[in-house]
Structure 1
Amino acid sequence: MLKELNPLIHSQLRLAIMTLLVSVEEADFSYLKEKTNATSGNISVQLDKLSSAGYIKITKEFVGKKTRTTCRLTEEGKQAMEEYIENLKSYLNL
């Protein structure tokens, strides 16, 4: 029996963000925007959704006069991503 894929992670942009964050300790907004080719508005909305779910932690700080937004996976986010991958494997019969 196939398990349901987490709809929060299954969205293309949110999946891309989560996948990028799995491979790094933290990433800033510009890096995520560049790697996903998403607009600032779209990526911002998706980061808010992931943050509200407790999957990522967003930190805003000032570097000089500019704000720097960094994101990192939470333990809950890592666990959700692992479950998502395991469930996806069942679809692929791996």
Structure 2
Amino acid sequence: MSHPRHALDEIIHAPVRLSIMAMLAAVETVEFGFLRDTVEISDSLLSKHVSTLEKAGYVRVTKGFVGKRPRTWLALTDEGRGAFQDYTSVLRQITEGSRLP
């Protein structure tokens, strides 16, 4: 048998992307600025990581306006929610010392 770490999703595994995914897993949708401030990163770094997650099909980006101000909202797709659940399951296997089935 191989170690569970081999089952970790490399797209999610980067610390900033893991933080983004964890935040999005806890909500239906979140505004870009709120996520940026919560994860404590710059606009450009958040944009870069969101782009990676969006290309993987894990995050849905919706743009619109509040009054005359442009806004961007982020949400996990069903695929992203499943990938995050799988990722956290593997982390539990690693931290609890169990093996993959």
TM-score, with normalisation over the residues of structure 1? Answer: 0.94
Could you tell me the TM-score, scaled by structure 2's length? 0.88
In structure 2, the gaps of 5 or more residues are none
Alpha-carbon separation, structure 2, partners of 1:25 and 1:35: 16
- Of 76, 79, 82, the residue aligned with 1:79 is 82
Q: 1:62: how far off?
A: 1.7
**Alignment correspondent of 1:93:** 96
* Per-residue deviation, 1:39: 0.5
Aligned residues: 94
Aligned to 1:29: 32
SS of aligned partner of 1:16: helix
Over 3 Å off, 4+ runs = none
| Paired residue type of 1:85 | T
In our comparison, the structure showing a higher alpha carbon Rg is 2
The separation in 2 between residues aligned to 1:26 and 1:65, in whole angstroms, is: 20
Q: What amino acid is aligned across from residue 3 of structure 2 in structure 1?
A: L
CA apart distance, 1:63: 1.8
1:46 alignment partner in structure 2: 49
> Which amino acid letter does the alignment assign opposite residue 59 of structure 2?
I
Which residue, out of 20, 23, 42, partners 2:23?
A: 20
Amino acid at match of 2:71: R
Equivalence for 1:57: 60
Distance in 2, matches of 1:21 and 1:35, equals: 11
- Residue 65 of structure 1 and its aligned partner are, at CA, apart by 2.2
Shift in Å at residue 18 of structure 1?
Answer: 0.4
The percent identity for this pair of structures is 34
